[in-house]
Structure 1
């Protein structure tokens, strides 16, 4: 019986224009998905996923919603042929599904687990890469619905929380009312009108978001020729992508704010090109912009203006390597047909040298200027090719708490400010002006859910913070000020609004403090140095801007820890997390070396599950670690086995991953419970703070058992602990089940899986390092990300705690002990383990 028999039986292909279709055996590397708006007996949207040579299909009664709180009913229907993914037209009245069908969205989908198992179990999790539907989604079968029980099979289509969510339940379907392929409305399709030839025809792929170039703050503009000077706007940085599928508007960090900047989508769609990626700034109104006014405009739907100042991509061609002068000429040509005072405008270039341009801008009450090298390429990071100089000093700072007010009608007297420097939250003073009653109410509403009892600040607190109400540091404020004091605190600060386009962890006052003190960067982005005999290009590039850690510093870290780190990372298949443009740019996870890679990163042929062989990589020397750093690598993720015995692991890893809301004390308690259980079965262990939010408990092994044995043991151990304490632990990846619990991740213990290597940097704000610690030391630590490159010298002067644990094998005795432990009482095991120690 064919999977398409039901589809064929329901249709008379002599009458309906729908494709007969055939079962297709092969699925491409990027399986397709399609959504068809279907005006049958009742208007609905048919959601289809390509798998197994057919399109799995669901009828979504109200259409997909990008609001995670809106769960849409999706009724499972018969499988459709792949050819149906291109069908748009009208099914005759009286035929099955009679009515108009529009191709509403299409693209490809990325399963996050085995789709066949997910369909069988009633839980499908996936990412969509479409013109309209993007990001994480889930299909969940409702209880009481099982295939074959004679009832219709009801599922729920749910959007997962990510950068592609919407605050409006019907934003997707209300916004997109035309065919994604022909541009026709439902009425035009029913009337058999031809495809709409839109002018312009955006017929090239929509450019992807890329990291934006950032300006370096200086106290005055650069001198000399070869610079152009532009207005510094007070708004939100925005990348405007135009191409097939419409318009996307991204923040500086890649968040899709198309819905929030919605009024700009239509005028952007009128730009005559096949595709384009334009860099610019969104402001309120049409003047120089005011951040407070912008916040109000976004909230109330006020007028927005996009000032374009750079062109990164045009009609399929990457322009970032071209000099600014050429990019600017292309941008001017592209925007020339647009009205000069419309919602999309060219950023004006100011006449005269930098000092004159800045003086003119300050005279009219502007914020400052940005000076740009006219012969420089575009770089997706902070460089000295762009220099900003301000009339009014401003900084982005984190709100760490607030001081109560004794005045009637005033919610608070001041906000307490901070910034992240080297991974630590540093106090930056208070701001008590700039908010009216309405602003104070809005701020209190935003702060209330973040209340905490203890200070989030590091270091000793000044007396002015007494009586403060503390917050979890999530909110970012824009503050105007006259100067930073010698203690590093703002003087005469004025609140200008909350920023939603920058995570708190990325907020640093390093540039502002450097300008105040007259300090300058010692190394330029394009400088080159040799470290450990390895050439490091772009040595001054800031990989961790908040911590001031450059690409050269990353290489120096790996030079310093090489001997210790190679004890655990050498001669193993390794995957690298690369940040070619630093923490603020795009990241790449790479397990196969590319052309032009250093010879110190060696190939390792490994047979895959399908019988093919792929070249993985491994390092065996300090030169290999630094060679990886030269290629922009920050993190090293290693297999649990070495290349001479790939199928015999020599370590077992449990990653304790806490749900949001749990603190580090909960994680440490879980580590002790895990340790007690491992001791009870005869396996000594050692903890490693991951540099993220959790802890890895590592068990060194003798190389006697296979991957299957190690995987089975780790899964059983984690499951037993989770079943024993279901209120504290979970042993499955399900996000829904992890609420308020710690996920005991045992999945790293199978062939091909990796875990972060000891002494590896982590690609997180502050440049934390994954460090093995003793059990006694773990009990004293305040956080799992408290070690940084500057701590390594003292760390390496003492033995590594992980090296002091003797490897054991997963023997028959250990398995028997596991069975006894499963049947025993946890409290007795903890006591027994304490006695044994």
Structure 2
């Protein structure tokens, strides 16, 4: 990328740990960071993601929250996107030598056309960081023609985030590792945020729910909050936290992982906070939240109640006292940031509702100011909507007569009566995009059942297909008929937070079935013409056909192993997902297996259709664990990943692989090599299933560190990038119980569609790169260069020889 030429020209990739890869641009909200750089002169570096790079300014005195303070910001060269989270030491003699601290991290949003703002010299934007929030201005200073650098001013705009304590004085440690400059320079381990002596995590709790009413209450005894269009979330703070649970008790901490660092910084040793998860970075609404969930963020948390604090139960206290305690708890969080306190307005409910509806809001929740917190639905909390919306259980679908539409409408039901039995409520046939219909069809397919889960009138059920009542849809409707049937319903989205507490798994993205479809190994591959690798011209159909052709060679390596998948549903130019667990809608050919000690079942494949079905789901890379699913406590392979520093050529890596072969062979452990499709080589040994994970890990670590100790100028066995300059990192961490390594014959999600290719040692001698095989050539060449694998070896005897040596 030409925009990074200046950046790369100033730096030596063999001498500095700074990133050189261009990196992938964000598919969602634009990212932002600020780094504190202790170089020749202490300064702060502002990074704003734009057009595939990080726009960069050096802010000499750091940001100020006083709008009267104008801080000089010198425009510097564009940086690669991976620099966004860089933290470490730039060695002496290199450009920018000194210690770099990641000082703030988050997202940003231009408040006007960014290109126009950069061109005219005035960029106004919103920051959504952990430390800096609100509206900011970058204003260019007119300079002399001879000046090489552009001088700008960074100014805080007047808003709720202004006039707060000086962030330069307040924040002296890393936002990611909580380390000081000295600790970063000394490569000290990361330190946890929050209190040093947390109390036990609060137990799971049932939330208090509001009753839907037609009109809000009147009088001065009520507080009125804006009804938030998000997912209910109970945040548990304490030892082992934060933990986020939905209203049904599902642990969604991993799903909202981007919120965890901000929640971990909250001061109490333990707390249970009730609130709502919403879309972050300036996005609003339920559909925006669903998009954020698919993309992994950004999110925000709006807190509105406090159930426990420092081990004390607050539920019996009046709402006003609980809110006062919550306000004190959140007093120090940045305004307009990731964690906020909901606004509560006393007074007339009708006036509050009118104002919210006029502003385009969803409605209000009115709460009795003196009421305690009582689990379940209560008359002390009442919600009034600006429009009719409700959540309904999907019980089936009706067929469509239009080509390309998987269904005409969804059939809906909701609980009725004290026993919670479902009652039919009608159908919804509008509000679906083509992508949404494809996703819903894929989610419903594995839930099909023979009969309706509740009684449905014959006229409504003709031709219908029925499903288990697992999916919950949010719908907008005009009114309910006398028979409590929806009129003029429109689909808004799925409500995962209101689904049963034991769903099949997290929702996955299912692509729109458009274009040509192919039948490969019995699997329907939709959108077969979609280009996955643009430069190589490789389509989704090509990828599926490759996995069908290579399966006889690939399955002996990857079948019946727990997998991790790298999915690119939109190809190289779109988002990518690293996935270890199946979601609803995963094809039956991709199976699941429960592993002792793990909450969610792992994915595995056992046949050719399994590999092809993965390609249909957008899977490009298959990563395998070092064990089979029938004995997950006994590994059957050992891997040394030889990962060279950027400045090393392939000949150095190849020589290292042969040295590892000879040293391991001397211990009685035969190996075979695999070029990874990237820049390194895996040296692999087949093991008898006699040793435990502890033994395999100990052997791998000991051997790696022994090689590094004997030849420190050649090898390093620690992950520190600062110590890897000019060396080969011996990655022995692939040999842990849940760790994975790229599968032999897997395509790599890299330009050109390279393939991880296992070789004989003789074939490796003539190799000139680690990525010389691609999807178009691998299957034909593989049989000619395949490794000669002998019988698996017992590692215990090998380990004893290593100790004795």
- Fold match by TM threshold 0.5: no
TM normalised by structure 2 equals 0.38
